[in-house]
Amino acid sequence: MSGTPSGRAVGTRDRDSEGRARNARPRDGLGRPLPYGADGVPRQPEGVVRTPEETVTEAQVLLDAGRPFHAHEVFEDAWKSGPEEERGLWRGLAQQAVGLTHAARGNVTGGARLLRRGAGAVREWAADSGVREPYGMDVAGLVAWAEELADAVESGSAGDVDAAERAPRLRGGA
């Protein structure tokens, strides 16, 4: 096989230590793949088990830095490793973060759809659980944030979405 400019053999796939396919390409702050050898932002490790408080804190740091794609990975870890009764909450928050990612990338349809899907999941979780402020998060504020941003993205009034500027406040209101 001939090589690529990055030195990788054509036709090879990035694999993790267990042989599973993994894309090792660097990524930008919105999770878009960059060319091999480019400077990207550090990727979030997958499968990290955090306390709910650590999850919220780490996700907020990433959101504030304009890295909602990476925040979605933190929420996804909580969704996959947390208790069954909280999965709807974390899945909804991950969908909201991906919705912000798509909106910031200029994907109006995908951004609005995922923001609304995430808002619905978080709302449904709160209604089913009866919990309104899990881990200090304002569920009603997060739902309103996602729905308002979805409306603004679809109507065009949001303009170019800056992920850091439009990031929600997970604790203390959105």
Q: Hey, which residues does 9 pair with through a beta bridge?
A: 3
Nearest CA to 162 out of 74, 96, 67, 71 is that of: 67
In the CATH scheme, what is the homologous superfamily, with its name and number, of domain 52-155? TTHA0068-like (1.10.3450.10)
How does the average pLDDT of the chain come out, rounded?
A: 88
Cα distance between residue 150 and residue 112, in whole Å = 4
What pLDDT shows up at residue 40?
86
- List pLDDT tens digits, range 68-126: 999 999 999 999 999 999 999 999 999 999 999 999 999 999 999 999 999 999 999 99
**How would residue 154 be classed by pLDDT, with cut points 50, 70 and 90?**
very high
Q: What is the pTM of this model?
A: 0.83
- List pLDDT tens digits, range 112-123: 999 999 999 999
Nearest CA to 92 out of 76, 103, 107, 104 is that of: 76
| Contact of 99 with 71, CB cutoff 8 Å | no
- Dihedral of CA 112/117/118/120: which sign? positive
Residue extents of the structural domains in the chain: 1-43, 52-155
Structure-model confidence comparison of residues 5 and 35, the more confident one = 35
Mean pLDDT of the region 144-159: 97
Cα distance between residue 63 and residue 69, in whole Å = 9
Cα distance between residue 88 and residue 109, in whole Å = 23
| Contact of 111 with 102, CB cutoff 8 Å | yes
Structure tokens given for 19: 């042989």
With tokens 């759809």, the residue in question is 113
